[in-house]
Amino acid sequence: MLDSDLAKLYECANGTKTINLAVKRHINRFPERFMFQLTEEEVSKLSRFQIETLKGRGHNVKYLPYVFTE
């Protein structure tokens, strides 16, 4: 699940910013097998299939998204 999907699920007012801040504050609760960050190549491939995720505030990905596995 992408961090943007998680932000929508939990109705975060600041979107992924809230999720990423929580991860940084509690990094010990997020083991390496639980989450990872996509590479630029993976984001470009993903955006081809999920064009709607880039619409809205901006059309470019500013930060590489995190993916949560569990």
Q: pTM of this prediction?
A: 0.68
Say what the pLDDT of residue 58 is: 45
pLDDT exceeds 60 at position 53: no
Say what the pLDDT of residue 50 is: 56
Q: What is the pLDDT of residues 18-38, one digit of tens each?
A: 988 988 898 888 887 888 889
Percentage of the chain modeled with pLDDT above 90: 10
The string of DSSP letters for 5-67 reads HHHHHTT-TTTHHHHHHHHHHTGGGS-TTTEEE--HHHHHHHHHH-GGGTSSS-SS-SSPPEE
